[in-house]
Amino acid sequence: MQDVVADPAAHNRAAWDKYVEEGSEWTRPVSAEVIERARAGDWSIVLIGHEPVDRSWLPTDLTGKDVLCLASGGGQQAPILAAAGARVTVFDNSPRQLDQDRLVAARDGLELRTVLGDMRDLSAFDDATFDLVFHPVSNLFVPELAPVWSECFRVLRPGGTLLAGFLNPDAYLFDQDALDERDELIVVHKLPYSDVTHYSAEERATKFGADAALEYGHTLTDQIGGQLAAGFVLTGFAEAPHHCDASAPYMSGYFATLAVKPG
C-alpha cells in the first residue's frame, strides 16, 4: 500500500499554507487584548489541548530570555511570549504561518524573529543559542524524530529547557470514519503509524483530501526515549484529552514533557 512522497516537508508546507487560508484553529492570531494583558503580566500559552501550560514549567520572569518557538507559527504562542518580555524566534515550515506572527508583531509593536525551515534542521542557529525551546504538538508532521531532539539539545544552553507536546500514538489505532460518524472505536491500524504507509495516495485523497498534511504516529520510545537519547533529563510530564476526537472520553489524546539540558 505504501507510496512514495518525495518531500514530506514540502507537501506539509503547502498544506499548512492552505490551512491558514481556510482559517484553521491553529492559524488564528491572538487578539490585541491578549497581547495587552501579556504585557501587564497576565498571560498563558497552550502546549497540548486547550489547557494553559503549567506556569511552573516556564521561567518566573521571561525578561531577556532567548526563546525558540519550534514549529509554532500561527500568531499564537510566540507573540504572547514576546509581549511577556522574552526575545522570541519563531521557526516554522509554513510561510503563511510565519506571516501570522509577523502580523501580530506589526499590529502590536512586538519584536520577534521569524525563520522558515524544517524542524529537523536547525542549522540556522548556533550551538547554545536559546534558554527555552517551546515545541507544541507538531512533530506528527515529520517522519522521524531523532533529528528534532538532537537539534533541540544542540541549540539550548546548558540548563535550558524543552517543553514538548505530542499526540498519543494510540489515537491512530482507530478507523477515523467510524470515530467521526458513529463515535465507534474500531481498531484498524498497527503502530507506529504513517499516512504514507497505511494508505495509498488515492485512499488519502478520499479520506482526508489530496492537500491534507501528512501525519506520522510516533512511538513513545521515539518521543520520550528519543529525548533521553539526545541527552535530556525529563523533569515533568502531563497529559490532556484530544480537543476534538471521539476517543477523548477513553484515553488521553496528548502528552507533554518538560526536559532539561544538563549543565
Mark out the alpha helices in 192-248 (DSSP H runs): 195-198, 201-207, 220, 226-230
Residue 242's pLDDT is what? Answer: 83
DSSP three-state, residue 200: coil
Per-residue pLDDT of 73-129, as tens digits, reads 999 999 999 999 999 999 999 999 999 999 999 999 999 999 999 999 999 999 999
3-state secondary structure of 139: helix
Q: Crossing angle, helix 8-22 and helix 95-108, to 10 degrees?
A: 50
Quick one: CA dihedral 257, 170, 223, 90, positive or negative? negative
What is the rounded CA–CA span in Å between residue 185 and residue 89? 40
Is residue 252 classed as helix, strand or coil in its secondary structure? Answer: coil
CA–CA separation, 218 and 201 (whole Å): 20
CATH architecture group of domain 8-260: 3-Layer(aba) Sandwich (3.40)
Residue showing cell 546548558 = 158
Nearest to 138 by CA among 56, 231, 74, 51: 74
pLDDT tens profile 19-76: 999 999 999 999 999 999 999 999 999 999 998 999 999 999 999 999 999 999 999 9
Report the sign of the C-alpha dihedral through residues 144, 153, 161, 12, in that order: negative
What is the value of pTM for the model shown? Answer: 0.96
How many alpha carbons fall within 13 Å on the CB side of residue 165? 27
DSSP bridge pairs for 48: 51
On the 0-12 / 13-18 / 19+ scale of CB atoms within 10 A, 93 is buried
What are the counts of helices (DSSP H) followed by strands (DSSP E) for the chain?
10, 11
